[in-house]
Every structure is written in structure tokens, then in C-alpha cells.
Amino acid sequence: MKKSKTYLTLFWTFFKLGLFTFGGGYAMIPLIQAEIGERKKWMRTEEILDIVIIAESTPGPIAVNAATYVGYKVGGFFGALFATLGLVLPSLGIIFGISLFFDEFLQFSIVQSAFKGIEVAVAILILNAGLKLLKILKKDLYSIITLVLIFVLMIAMDVFAFDFSSIYLILIGAGFGLFLEALRKQPKKEEKQ
């Protein structure tokens, strides 16, 4: 495939994702998996999980980070540029259009009803994305302990209305992983003797 065709394909693929995904980056994960992994075969399922980890661990919106990562992997610098532009332009256009008459827009009962329906659909999409990621997650002791630890922390913070940035959860997960790796590398008593 020629470079220009690759760039246009990246742009159009992420333009469609940006145009038809409601609910932000997490709601986009199943669509990215279907489009990038299954239809285009640009990446394996395991790589999609890596994309989510990298995109969530770096500054910026997860969807933009994912588009940039996939674009770079498929088409280098310009691939990243075209994929990112493709993802961002639909939202930019829609938000700009809505901002011109936002207050009047929200007064329509049909818009309010649509937003209520979209909220439910987005929650289901995010839950679906989480379940798909859970299926491809390695089922070793480290992953299970980290998953349970972070899940319990999230529930406790929600129950006690404790405002805690997700960045700290990511850092706790990374710290826990480093701690377990250090434990794993400790020589056993039998090896010392």
C-alpha cells in the first residue's frame, strides 16, 4: 500500500471512529479493537491491550493517544498525524457547532431524552470494553492481585466519596508491579545455601 493511501486510510478509519463514538475513549475501545484488530488487521488483540495501557498511562485523552499510537505504528510520523487529525476533527466540528447555541440546544426535550439514552448506552459500552480487556488480560497471580487491589480501592473511594485521581491508581499499579518484580528476583533460601 502506498504511503498516501495508508495516510488516507488511517485518517478515514479514525474519522469514522471519532464521528460515531459517544462517551469518550473508553467507549471507543471496543470499536478500536473491532476496526484496528479485526477488520484492518493492523494489530493483534494483545497489542490492543498494550495500546490501552500506554494511552491511559500517558498525558492526554485515551482516544487521542490510542489514535496517535496506532497511526505511528502503521504509518510513522505522518500516520500518527493523520490518525490523530481524523479522530479529533469530528468532535471539534460537533462541539464547535453545539457551542454556538448550546443553551437553546439543551432546551429541546428530545435532546434531553436522547442524552439520557446515550448515557445508558455509553455505560454499557464502557462495561463491555472492560470485560473484553479482562478476557485478554494475563491470568497470573500479579494481574489478579493488582486487579482486586485497584478494584477494592475504587469501590472504597466511591463509597466514602473520596476524590482520588485515576493517575494515582495507575501509579499504585505500577508500584505494585515493581514491588512484585523485586520480590520475584530475590534469591530463595535454598539458592543462597
Query: Does the structure show a pLDDT above 60 at 192?
Result: no
Pair 109, 85: CB distance under 8 Å = no
pLDDT at 33: 79
**What's the CA angle centered on 21, arms 20 and 24, to 5 degrees?**
155
Q: From the centroid of its chain, how far is CA 183?
A: 30
Query: Does the structure show a pLDDT above 80 at 114?
Result: yes
**Best-predicted range by mean pLDDT among 15-29, 85-99, 106-120, 129-143?**
85-99
Please name the amino acid found at residue 16.
Answer: K
Query: Does the structure show a pLDDT above 90 at 79?
Result: yes
Q: What is the mean pLDDT of residues 1-17?
A: 87
Query: Does the structure show a pLDDT above 90 at 169?
Result: no
pLDDT at 23: 64
Please, which contacts does 49-56 make with residues 24 or more away whose CB atoms are closer than 8 Å? Answer: 49/133, 49/136, 49/137, 52/133, 55/25, 56/166, 56/170
Q: What is the pLDDT of residues 135-154, one digit of tens each?
A: 777 788 777 887 788 788 77
pLDDT at 83: 93
* Rg, Å, the chain Cα set: 20
pLDDT at 76: 92
Closest CA to 28 of 56, 6, 7, 57: 56
